[in-house]
Structure 1
Amino acid sequence: MKNLDGYNIPFDFDGLVQMSDLIYYDGPLLSHFVSRTGKDYLFYWVDIDENFNRWMFFRVTPSVIQSYLDKKLSLRDIIYKLEEGFVTFVEIDDEANFLNPKIVKIDSIPEDYLPSPQSYYCFEKYDYNCLDSVSKELNSGVFELHIEGKDVGYGSISLGKLSKILPQFEAMRKDMATGFNKILLGKFKKKEKGETKKSYSNSLKEYTDFDIHYMMAGSARIILKPKSRYIASCLSDDERDLFASEFIKVLNSGFKSEDVDKVSNTYGKNLIQKYTEFVDLLNEEQIGVQFTWCNAFLNKSYSSIIDKEQVAFVRSVLQRFVLNEDNNEEKEGYFTSLNVKTGSFTFETEDMKTIEGKFDDSLMNNIHTVSFCSKYCVTINCRRNACVGSKVKKRNVLLAYTQV
């Protein structure tokens, strides 16, 4: 190897997470790493001997990487435009030990170690699954939402696009969490430590809700961590892993009609509607997504991929699923509005739910007897008919009412 004119420095290589290989040929030649403090580095392979591979690395920003991927900057341009005015070299042995880190001024870099003036990007990058490292760092299983497609850059996404995706994701999560938690509460048995059903219910809400921990580069990659601070025993699945597994099943169900039926039977048709609205958004925005759950302590990983080319197929599966309901409900409450000519009414239940509909034709002759000051027990036929992806048509018909 060539002698380097520089001086040795300490460097925390253990805190680096590999995000992607930008150039790969019989092994990585240019790789993107992120430090535990969120700093971005490019590692560029420059030399080899019988004992070591030598790499040159330097700090960059995701926007610089994007400019490189867009062929607006060559790799040589990036190096010569570094604000620090220096790069660092390191030798790596066969056991992945990082040795002899040395700072070298840009003007002192051997010419053989520099990319050519025409070193513009003409390769295909590979994104690493780095969730194992993130899971260990956070002492928790984590979700990653990985977004690719139109107007999604390297580690960046427009606020307008993201502001549409997250509410749709949250609508799915919230709807499913309600059903998931209800199922587990129905199986609840008092725990050895004296956990009550109420405290278990509160724990479930934290297990199935998420905070955005941070966003990472490599397309747009959003890390989601369960809100619960409880650290699992790492010996068996807990409710967080179970919820993640079920959530991935819901996302994967869109590829088979029979799986859509199973999800509907377990968690209800509303969840399928929310899922369809999410897929419709993917189609509208021309993007694809990958959801991955990773629990490094249990070596558990679940993943669902709906790339841009698959969105149309998933939509077609969901379109064949029909949302129909026809059932009678009994409610107590008060009439808040009434049209004696058309039979239209508004009824507010004791749990503050508002129902709008029409009186059945057989009751129209007695509609004038209704009082807004009186409490009533009513029987309402609720009908819902729609194909997934189209607007849901609802019709509520008042069949009977009795003053309480």
Structure 2
Amino acid sequence: MKKMPNIEGKKISAKDIPQYTWNADLVDFDGPLLSLFKSEDGEDALFSWLDCSNSRNRWCILPLSRELLGSYLKQETSLLEVFQSLDSFVVFDVTPSHRRTNFTLTNLSDLPQDYIPDPESYLFDEISTDAATALRDEETEEYYLGLDGGMYIDDLSLIPKTYQQLYSFHYGLEHLQRDAVSHSFSRILKGWTGGFSSVNVFTGLRSVIPSIHRVRISELRYNSPGHIKVNLLPKLAEKIESAANYIENEENFRESEQFYKDVYNFFKDHKIAGFEEERNQHERSLTPDTNKEIMAYVDTFFEMMDWTEYQENFKKVHASPLLQLRILLAYYRRLKKLRPYIVRGHLSIGSSLLT
């Protein structure tokens, strides 16, 4: 029976380690060998397989920065260099029941030689998963949120927060083909019952965005006029900009508000609770005809926002038509928060107001 070597270092408990959420497998051979995770604090980490016995697998946790993650995905940095960048890291064992145990805080010099990656341990195309390739190929760009006019401090808080929530939603729609995103979307929506706020939906989707794709502030200038310069995925920014431009138009806004009113009246007529307060009471059984009507509202919203390319994938999310509609309405309420700033010329999505 194979026995794994002891690891020198400091024994720690599971509570000393952040909670991590699986994001993507980067290397897989009859099972994952290297995976990307995200901590509860929003930090990235690689989980690297080290060894196994007849009863356990051994892994280590390698926290890394946005820059180092991007460099590793682009094959500019080796896995060995990721190890070498850390003063310490955690090694742990996983039992057949998937329980993590035997946590040890250690460093590279205390690892057995067989555990240390080769100097040529780059993420070559030959070993990369489709998820790893997709993460590498999606490039972020600079983007502007132009600011002008008399603003208060809560305005400067609301605008980036709302924009981040819209971006998280679009990230979910755009990446539903990635298992971690689709599973998270389904899990979050299933949990949206009994007082679970829709805020948690946007927060949950943000948890599957790796640092290389998060909205990162590059520059903040408020000189009236000024701007927030950010780094993000341009396709998602274009979707938000298009939606904002749509409701900026007065005729379109009346149409979207009428749609919202029609849904509200439908909910009221069918005694469906939890509309404005964004909290879903436990769903009573809805008839097939009612669900069909709700699904028609979902389709109308996608057509109104010109998101038809996402329509079929969104339907595959394991959530009822009612929950699908609720999240779309929650998105609309957030989008509508930005409209007064846009109409008054205080906010320009996609351009700086600096001359």
Q: Shorter-chain-normalised TM-score: which range?
A: 0.5 to 0.7
Which string of whole-angstrom CA distances, capped at 9 and with x for unpartnered residues, describes residues 352-395 of structure 1? xxxxxxxxxxxxxxxxxxxxxxxxxxxxxxxxxxxxxxxxxxxx
How far 1:71 sits from its partner (Å)? 0.9
The reply on whether 1:5 has 2:62 as its aligned counterpart is no
Structure 2 letter corresponding to 1:92: V
Residue 242 to residue 108, structure 1, CA distance change in 2 (3 Å): farther
SS of alignment partner, residue 102 of structure 1: strand
Report if aligned partners of 2:51, 2:115 keep a CA contact under 8 Å in 1. yes
1:184 paired residue number: 263
Q: 1:251 to 1:188 in 2, by over 3 A?
A: closer
Instruction: Note the C-alpha offset of 1:40.
Output: 1.9
Q: What SS does structure 2 have at the residue aligned with 1:107?
A: helix
- CA offsets 1:272-311 (integer angstroms, 9 cap, x no match): xx52xx78xx9xxxxx999758988879997xxxxxxxxx
Distance 2:281 2:118 in 1: 51
Counterpart pick for 2:185 among 131, 140, 162? 131
Are 2:78 and 1:74 aligned?
yes
* Residues 63 and 189 (structure 1), Cα distance of their counterparts in 2 relative to 1, 3 Å cut: same
CA RMSD of superposed structures (Å): 4.6
Alpha-carbon offset, residue 36 of structure 1:
2.0
For 2:113 and 2:102, the matched residues in 1 are separated by: 21
1:232 aligns with 2:281: yes
Match of 1:351 in 2: none
Residue pair 1:236, 1:298 contacting (<8 A) in 2 also: no
Instruction: Identify, as 1 or 2, the structure richer in strand.
Output: 1
AA aligned to 1:99 is T
Query: Hey, what's the Cα distance between the residues in 2 that align with 1:76 and 1:86?
Result: 14
Q: How does 1:201-280 map to 2 (within 5 A)?
A: 204=275, 206=276, 228-233=277-282, 249=299, 271=304, 275=306
Q: Does 1:22 align with 2:26?
A: yes
Q: Higher helix fraction: Structure 1 or Structure 2?
A: 2
The alignment-based identity, stated in percent, is: 20
Cα distance, 1:164 vs structure 2: 3.3
In the alignment, structure 1 segments of 5+ residues that lack a partner are 207-227, 253-262, 264-270, 283-287, 303-404
User: Which of 220, 242, 249 does residue 168 from structure 1 map onto?
Assistant: 242
Q: Distance in 2 between matches of 1:93 and 1:247?
A: 47
Name the SS for the 2:14 alignment partner. Answer: coil
Give the alignment partner of residue 64 of structure 2, picking from 60, 65, 73: 60
Runs of 4+ that moved beyond 6 A:
145-148, 241-244, 288-291, 293-302
1:50 counterpart SS class: coil
Q: Distance in 1 between the 2:95 and 2:237 partners?
A: 45
Q: In the TM superposition, what is the alpha-carbon distance from 1:182 to its structure 2 partner?
A: 3.2
Q: Decide whether the 8 Å contact of 2:213 with 2:233 is kept in 1.
A: no
Among 92, 98, 113, the alignment partner of 1:90 is 92
Query: In 2, are the aligned partners of 1:145 and 1:289 still within 8 Å (CA)?
Result: no
Secondary structure at the residue paired with 2:96? coil
Name the counterpart of 1:44.
Answer: 48
Determine the C-alpha separation between the residues in 2 that align with 1:184 and 1:120: 52
Partner of 1:111: 113
| Cα 1:8/1:294, change in 2 over 3 Å | farther
CA distance 1:191–1:75, shift in 2 (3 Å) = same
Task: Report the CA distance shift for 1:244/1:7 in structure 2 as closer, same or farther (over 3 A).
Answer: farther
Q: Is the contact made by 2:71 and 2:77 (CA closer than 8 Å) also made in structure 1?
A: yes
Structure 2 counterparts to residues 365-384 of structure 1, below 5 A: none
Give the C-alpha shift of residue 248 in structure 1: 6.0
Shift of 1:86: 1.0
Instruction: Give secondary structure in 2 for the equivalent of 1:120.
Output: coil
Measured in 1, the distance between the counterparts of 2:311 and 2:211 equals 14
Change (3 A) 1:132 1:94: farther
The match for 1:101 is 103
**Cα deviation code 1:230-287 (max 9, x no counterpart):** 24315568xxx999955763587xxxxxxxxxx5xxxxxxx3xx52xx78xx9xxxxx
Query: TM (normalized to structure 1)?
Result: 0.47
Determine which structure has more spread, i.e. the larger CA radius of gyration.
1
Q: What's 1:379 paired with?
A: none
Q: Distance in 1 between matches of 2:245 and 2:292?
A: 19
CA contact (8 A) 1:292 1:301 kept: no
Quote the Cα distance in structure 2 between the aligned partners of 1:92 and 1:98.
5
Aligned AA (2:242): Q
Measure the CA separation in 2 of the matches of 1:73 and 1:244.
50
Choose between structure 1 and 2 for higher RCO, CA contacts under 8 A separated by at least 6 residues. 2
Give ranges in structure 2 of 5+ residues lacking alignment. 132-177, 216-230, 325-355
Q: Which amino acid aligns with 1:182?
A: K
**Is the 1:131–1:294 Cα contact (8 Å) retained in structure 2?**
no
Taking the aligned partners of 2:294 and 2:270, their CA distance within structure 1 comes to: 23
